[in-house]
Amino acid sequence: MSRLLVKRVYDPPAPEDGTRILVDRLWPRGVSKDRIDLWLKDIAPSDALRREFHGNPDRWEEFRAAYAAELGGASAQAALATLDAKLKDGPVTLLYAAKDEIRNNAEALRLWLEKNLR
């Protein structure tokens, strides 16, 4: 797998970012389209899961397990295929808008990808 980074969408783009992919279901406020190369909202957690986790960040492992289950759905699988193709082309940066830089959906996705895409 090519290099995979995780970054807040509000952080400035850098040359080493490669393809910048937004993995949130909602477009982040105040972010222009030129800062993002691709938006894969179908790879993002469902709205219900996102809301549940937002109120309970201490349930990180439960969130990751529920999110991993959602990644098995048809629309998520199509988005994962697109992401996998981008990873084969070069570095990819998964972008997220959450304030928590450690426990967020992009980090959960990165961990899942490292385990499942070899």
pLDDT number for residue 2? 61
What is the pTM assigned to this prediction? 0.92
State which residues form the domain around 111.
4-116
Q: Distance between CA 47 and CA 55 in Å, rounded?
A: 13
Predicted pLDDT of residue 64: 95
Per-residue pLDDT, 92: 97
| 3-state percent helix, strand, coil for the chain, nearest multiple of 5 | 50, 15, 35
Per-residue pLDDT, 52: 86
pLDDT in tens, 50-108: 888 877 878 999 999 999 999 999 999 999 999 999 999 999 999 999 998 999 999 99
Total domain count, the chain:
1
